[in-house]
Chains A and B, each alone.
Chain A
Amino acid sequence: MHYGGKIILGIVIFVGLLLSPFAYNAMTVKANYKQPELKLPANEKKCIESLEFMRTKHMQLLNEWRDWALRDGKRVYVNHEGKEFTISLQNTCMKCHNNKAEFCDKCHNDAGVSPYCWDCHIQPEGLK
């Protein structure tokens, strides 16, 4: 094998990079990884939409809410059951989900998402 040393070095680097996530997690993840548990509001059992809808489409809803409230002046949201809610992140969502660190951040940190909600909105109390 001519130039074998260099080629094998290249292979080792490539395979090492591909396997590095296994090593990384072996060092950082202590117990088996589980998706984060959210601290749900104590006094309210039902969100404005179903659990499945909120889990996957809340960002779409919030985006639409912003457009409706700030660009169209529409402040009333009618959910799939026909119930009405005021379109407001701080007065409707955060009335129940009042702790960003215990709710929003839990999944967002794990998914590596940093929404720009708080560029404009005031963060929930107790958190800066």
Chain B
Amino acid sequence: MNALYSLVFVFILVLIPLFAVGAGHMEFGFGVCIPYTAFALFLIGFVWKIIGWAKSPVPFRIPTTGGQQLSYDPELFKQNKLDNPSNGFQTVVRMILEIFAFRSLFRNTSASLHETKGGPVVAYASAKWLWLFAILFHYSFFIIALRHLRLFLEPIPFFVKGLDFMDGILQIGAPVMYQSDVLIVAGLLFLLLRRLVDAKIRYISLVTDYFPLFLILGVALSGIWMRYYAKVDVVAIKELTMGLVTFNPHVPAGIDVSFFVHVFLVSTLMVYFPLSKLMHMPGVFLSPTRNMPNDNRFHHHVNPWNPDIKPLSYEAYEKDFGPAMAEAGLPLDNPENAKAPEEA
């Protein structure tokens, strides 16, 4: 049901611009006002969320990481420097591998139950499919986003041209097929089917899990539709997008309605992004189990929000409370303290 709700909601999101632009001719609203608003909300929401995280208390170093920590005898117990870093450099390497190679997904395992003659046996095996399709999806999305810069920059910088060339290097069809287009759909379909097919994952999947998948699938499919099927007028669209980035917004004639569907879905994604689980994009940088070295054994960590309390020795204590202690009959180390301090 959660998947169905999400799908229906994305259908509605497609129908809104289809009718508003197709029948209502609200090109300016859907081509200029909504994208500007969505971009502004995206930036504000994104920064707002991170500032909120930054203000929350930072936990003490969490040493429960997979791998041997730096031990008292590194010869006998060899340190696992990537999984249990003890200094800043090793931590940076761990973060880079996490962000660029999705290392913790690579260690995904799946449990399965096997019936044997001796009774049921649980088996755990490495499961790399999630990692593979997640990495295909994320890198494709990243390349597609960068490739879109050809519509937002004039003259087009060399790296966008190079990316465009490499992505279409198979030279299939005209306009040439982008590999990233195929791979992002493959990745999204796997991530979606994983939630639908596996009963255990289906049980824990919410609308907020399906909706981003359907929404991004809608963005990808509407883009594919524009490029390969509707064959929209790219040069007219560049005039619109360049108008947006040079603050000279206007809508040239001859832009197909599928463009407005694509832009509306992307605008929805931008507004939804800071409110959703998609914030794992900045969040991965702030993962407390990943971004701190495990150096509790040799660094004294003082909780940074502790009040500044000065140590008080017993001598000083007895000096402060000497007369009262003497009055109560308590023994004093220094009998001098029993006398009341002279009035100044």
Contacts and interface: CB of A to CB of B under 8 A. Distances in A.
Nearest to A108: B235
B235 A107 contact: yes
B246 A15 contact: no
Point out which of A1, A24, A110 has the most chain B C-beta atoms below 10 A from its C-beta.
Answer: A110
B238 A35 contact: yes
B54 A7 contact: yes
Contacts of A3: 54, 58
A41 interface: no
Nearest to A32: B248
B173 A63 contact: yes
B171 A25 contact: no
A45 to B, nearest CB: 20
Contacts of A60: 174, 231
A29 B285 contact: no
Interface in B194-246: 231-236, 238-239, 242-243, 245-246
B11 to A, nearest CB: 26
Given A55-B254, A59-B174, A2 B58 contact: yes
B235 A36 contact: yes
A125 to B, nearest CB: 25
A25 B242 contact: yes
Interface in A1-24: 1-4, 7-8, 10-11, 14-15, 18, 21-22, 24
A112 B160 contact: yes
Contact of A25 (B50, B55, B165, B246): B246
B139 interface: no
Interface range, A side = 35 or more
B174 A63 contact: yes
A43 interface: no
A112 B150 contact: yes
B162 to A, nearest CB: 10
B154 to A, nearest CB: 6
Contacts of A28: 153-155
Given A1-B55, A2-B58, A32-B248, A111 B234 contact: yes
Contacts of A26: 246
A91 interface: no
Interface range, B side = 35 or more
Interface in B153-169: 153-156, 160-161, 164-165
Contacts of A34: 239
A8 B47 CA distance: 9
A32 B171 contact: no
A2 B61 CA distance: 13
B180 to A, nearest CB: 15
B43 interface: yes
B252 interface: yes
Given A14-B282, A15-B47, A29-B154, A56 B242 contact: no
A67 to B, nearest CB: 10
B174 A35 contact: no
Nearest to B161: A112
A75 interface: no
A109 B204 CA distance: 49
A10 B281 CA distance: 12
A14 B235 CA distance: 29
A59 B175 contact: yes
4 closest cross-chain pairs (CB), A and B: A112-B150, A63-B174, A33-B242, A59-B174
Interface of A: 1-4, 7-8, 10-11, 14-15, 18, 21-22, 24-26, 28-29, 32-36, 52, 55-57, 59-60, 62-63, 107, 109-116
27 contacts: A2-B304, A10-B282, A15-B46, A21-B149, A21-B153, A21-B245, A22-B246, A25-B153, A25-B154, A25-B246, A26-B246, A32-B248, A33-B154, A33-B242, A33-B243, A35-B235, A35-B236, A35-B238, A35-B239, A52-B254, A55-B233, A56-B231, A63-B173, A107-B235, A113-B175, A114-B165, A115-B174
Given A110-B235, A111-B235, A116-B171, 5 more contacts: A15-B43, A26-B246, A33-B242, A34-B239, A111-B234
